[in-house]
Amino acid sequence: MAEHVDSHNENHPTQSIEDTGEKVVYLLVYHVVFIMFVWAYWQTIFTKPMNPLKEFHLSHSDKELLEREDRGESQQEILRRIAKDLPIYTRTNSGAIRFCDRCQLLKPDRCHHCSVCDKCILKMDHHCPWVNNCVGFANYKFFMLFLLYSLLYCLFITATDLQYFIKFWTNGLPDTQAKFHILFLFFSASMFSVSLASLFIYHCWLVCKNRSTLEAVRSPVFRHGTDKNGFSLGFSKNFRQVFGDEVKYWPIPVFSSLGDGCSFPTCLVNLDPEQPSSPTGSNPANKSAAEGRQFPSKPLRESQSRLLTSTPSWSENETATDKDRKGASNPGMTIENEA
């Protein structure tokens, strides 16, 4: 019987942890990190990506008009008329309105068409094969937490396995097959830690700069030209745009991102004169015109509007008005359909 117990202990090296307090700490930390990891992974996979609102879709009459017109200039006028009622500030590389021919809609800022999902995704970051889902506005926070908790999970396994990994090379472990399990566990956990750390650090950098992966590869184009920092509002506001205003929700995989995904505040002073005013300021000259538009006058949530009203340094009303007057004489744009 004693020989059986000794053999059992040799095949289970975890029995070498003699301190009860250490065992409790290991078990608590492991299960907390594991539960948060699975929760974030679940949310990333099963959260349905958000698509543009119906205001961005062409109406039946607009579709007929667009199909009947063969001349680019006439089609240009149709899309320009529709775009005036929407908070769209980005353009194609040629300066045209970003129009999706497959979805028959005007793309909101930071929206892209996913060829895998065959849909336009709000603030699309990338289509991730590991979660079999598009990572965008609806689940980008979940994706960040998934990277964080998976990294913590691997680091915890690596750290707790390190002492036994050292004993493996110093012949401090019993001569059983279990010691090869320790070797495999350490190498696999440490290698995953390196790859996850690099990916997590990269996405932290994207959050700090308020960019998506697509925008990091190809900078967004505004009416005045390409601007890679066009949506950046500073570190604090960029972070809160993804994780929300309330600190208690930051580490939890529940949706707390700011805004509606269809419009975003920018750091630009020379806003597009052809588009409705963004929540950055309240120009009295444009207020009456905005009341007649179909699109809501405040497309952002109240919490996201505070991102801009708290620091008016980049959006002086007087400066913006001057820029609008100068930009009113700019020529129109051409059409370039993007799928």
For residue 14, what is the DSSP state? G
Catalytic entry in 117, 128, 204, 208: 128
Residues with Cβ < 8 Å from 3, sequence gap 6 or more?
A: none
Instruction: Give the full edge-to-edge strand order of the sheet including 225-226.
Output: 90-91, 221-222, 225-226
- Rounded to whole angstroms, the Cα distance separating 89 from 91 reads 7
Token pair 């609806």 is at which residue?
138
Active-site annotation holds for 128? yes
In DSSP terms, 57 is beta-bridged to 105
Contact at 8 Å (CB) between 245 and 303? yes
For residue 220, what is the DSSP state? -
What is the DSSP code string of 223-289? TTEE-TTTT---HHHHHHHHH-S-GGGTTSSS----S-SS------SS--TTSPPPTT---HHHHHH
Which residues are known to be catalytic? 128
